[in-house]
Every structure is written in C-alpha cells, then in structure tokens.
C-alpha cells in the first residue's frame, strides 16, 4: 500500500469558469482526503519553477521557435494573464492518489481527454495562444509530487507531512494585522 500526496491546482480558467465547486466535489467523492489548500497569485518565478522541465519538452516536441513560444504562453496562462491572477492549490493524500486523480482529471490535451473527465468536460485549446487550457493541474509522479508540494507549501500548511523536515531558526520581517 503506497500512501501518496499529490498536488492539485485549479488553474485560472477553472476559477473564472466557476469550476472550483465541481472539481472539489469530484475530489471529495474519491477516497482521498484534502490535507492543505490555499489561493495563490502565481509569480513568474513560481510559474518557471513549477514548469522547470516543460520548456525543454516543448522544444523537443514542437521545435525551438514554436516550443519556446508555447512555453511562454503556458507561463502567462498559469499566472492568469488571460483569466484571473489566482489559482487554488491543494494537496490530496491517499493510496495511489497520483494515478487516480490524474485519471479523474483526464489527458493533458482537453481535445483528447475522455469527455467524462474534468479536462474533457471543461478544457479547451486556446486557438490564439495554442495553450491547452485544461482547468486543473495534477502531479504526474511521486518525484514531481514531492518537488511540487515542497514548492507550493510550507510543512506547517499541511495537516499531514510525509516528507522529511528539519527545525531551523528563521528571522524575517512579516506583515501582521495592525490591531
């Protein structure tokens, strides 16, 4: 039995299309439990870190010029340039969570995704930017799930932590409520 954690992001098109409820309902009807959630305004730096391997993959698939152009558009898409500059990021946990939640999401290309999946139902390929606007992100392997969860969340933001942590003294300025 492998208990996995999996990063799920409702992307800016998912928020704008009011799909948050549908997606969370679909996830709540699985055996997986939510162990972290927050709304994030995605910076270029965060987008680049999240998609650190995608640029090369797109260049290999589409050629140098087209691959780079699509990659830049994917970065803009996740930052919300075309919808809203917010995403809802969540971590789900359970046995075989990654494969199961990816099946529920459907294929990357919404035009090829099974029409009963979330991406198949609600996604589209943007004809201007060529970006597959597929409503949600789901980690695709244990290795990437770890990398992504550690990128998007601090250990204290999760109700269950499965990756090693350490105690560190940190001193930093923090914005707090005035009253």
Give the residues lining the site for ligand ADP (CB under 6 A): 54, 70, 74, 108, 130-132, 134, 137, 140
| 137 among known catalytic residues | yes
**CA pair distance 54, 82, nearest whole angstrom:** 20
Strand intervals (E) in 17-119: 33-40, 87-95
Q: Which stretch of DSSP H or E encloses residue 133?
A: strand 132-133
Q: Which is nearer to ligand ADP, 64 or 154 (by Cβ)? A: 64
- CB 128, min distance to ligand ADP, A: 12
For 45, the token pair is 């730096």
Burial environment of residue 19 by CB neighbours within 10 A (0 to 12, 13 to 18, 19 or more): buried
Find the catalytic residue in 50, 81, 83, 137: 137
- CB 105, min distance to ligand ADP, A: 7
- CB 53, min distance to ligand ADP, A: 8
Q: Which is nearer to ligand ADP, 140 or 157 (by Cβ)? A: 140
Q: Which is nearer to ligand ADP, 35 or 137 (by Cβ)? A: 137
- List the one residue out of 62, 85, 71, 174 whose CA is nearest residue 131: 71
Which positions are catalytic?
137
């Amino acid at each position: 039995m492998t208990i996995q954690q999996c990063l799920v992001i409702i992307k800016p098109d998912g928020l704008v299309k009011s799909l948050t409820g549908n997606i969370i309902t679909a996830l709540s009807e699985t055996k997986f439990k939510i162990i972290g959630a927050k709304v994030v305004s995605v910076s270029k730096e965060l987008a680049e870190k999240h998609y650190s391997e995608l640029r090369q993959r797109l260049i290999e698939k589409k050629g140098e010029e087209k691959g780079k152009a699509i990659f830049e558009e994917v970065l803009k898409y996740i930052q919300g340039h075309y919808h809203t500059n917010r995403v809802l990021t969540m971590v789900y946990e359970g046995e075989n969570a990654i494969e199961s939640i990816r099946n529920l999401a459907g294929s990357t290309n919404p035009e090829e995704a099974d029409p009963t999946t979330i991406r198949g139902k609600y996604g589209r390929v943007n004809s201007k930017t060529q970006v597959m606007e597929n409503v949600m992100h789901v980690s695709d392997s244990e290795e990437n799930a770890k990398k992504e969860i550690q990128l998007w969340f601090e250990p204290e933001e999760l109700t269950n932590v499965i990756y090693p942590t350490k105690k560190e003294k940190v001193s930093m300025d923090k914005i707090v409520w005035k009253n």
